[in-house]
């Protein structure tokens, strides 16, 4: 299964969501041309998309074993990837997406899947990056936008910005300042990549 080739001047972006849709809202507010919002569970992100008249698709984990050990990750990934390919998506943007995906999506969209992480990778990879930064006593952490690969938080880094750790910070207060940076840096990085893809497409003509 292969993703479609990028069309000149019309790169189709899909945003994958699982939660409130705040990153999606930031993307839309900064003019990212989102063609599809896809969720792995019913969530407020789908409502954000509908409010902004963006097409939505629910590929529900509950139909693939849910959230326990019976979850069929590969079958779920195949179904999600087929939905993206059928929508002629060029670029996949993960925005608080709560499901780790398997190899098939990387086969179809390798080098065209973006993710964001609340730390300055390679420091503090994994699900508890903000807690880990506080426990380590660092003075600076931040936000990283990177290409997603099969190995979690290990793909090429596209952009980073530092966030200072303040005295008395909690996980919640630090994470909120990181998210404020994320909501600006992530859309900016997507826009830059879209421009590069469009330019590359023109050169290939």
3-state secondary structure string, the chain? Answer: CCCCCCCCCCCCEEEEECCCCHHHHHHHHCCCCEEEEEECCCCHHHHHHHHCCCEEEECCHHHHCCCCCCCCHHHHHHHHHHHHHHCCCCEEEEECCCCCCCHHHHHHHCCCEEEEECCCCCCCCCCCHHHHHHHHCCCEEEEEEEECCCCCCCCCEEEEEEEECCCCCCHHHHHHHHHHHHHHHHHHHHHHHHHHHHHHHHHHC
117 catalytically annotated: yes
From the list 10, 51, 106, 117, the catalytic residue is 117
Question: Annotated active-site positions, please?
Answer: 117
């Amino acid at each position: 299964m292969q993703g479609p080739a990028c069309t000149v001047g019309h790169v189709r972006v899909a945003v994958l969501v699982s939660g409130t849709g705040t990153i999606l809202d930031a993307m839309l507010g900064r003019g990212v041309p989102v063609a599809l919002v896809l969720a792995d569970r019913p969530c407020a992100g789908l409502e954000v998309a509908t409010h902004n008249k963006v097409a939505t698709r629910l590929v529900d984990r509950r139909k693939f074993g849910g959230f326990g050990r019976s979850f069929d990750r590969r079958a779920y990934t195949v179904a999600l990837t087929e939905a993206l390919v059928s929508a002629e998506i060029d670029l996949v943007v993960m925005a608080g997406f709560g499901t780790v995906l398997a190899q098939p999506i990387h086969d179809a969209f390798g080098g065209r899947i973006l993710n964001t992480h609340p730390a300055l990778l390679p420091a503090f990879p994994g699900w508890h990056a903000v807690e880990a930064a506080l426990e380590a006593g660092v003075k600076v952490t931040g936000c990283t936008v990177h290409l997603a690969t099969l190995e979690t938080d290990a793909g090429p880094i596209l952009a980073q910005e530092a966030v200072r750790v303040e005295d008395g910070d909690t996980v919640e207060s630090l994470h909120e300042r990181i998210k404020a940076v994320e909501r600006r840096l992530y859309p900016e990085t997507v826009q830059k990549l879209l421009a590069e893809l469009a330019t590359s497409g023109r050169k290939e003509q």
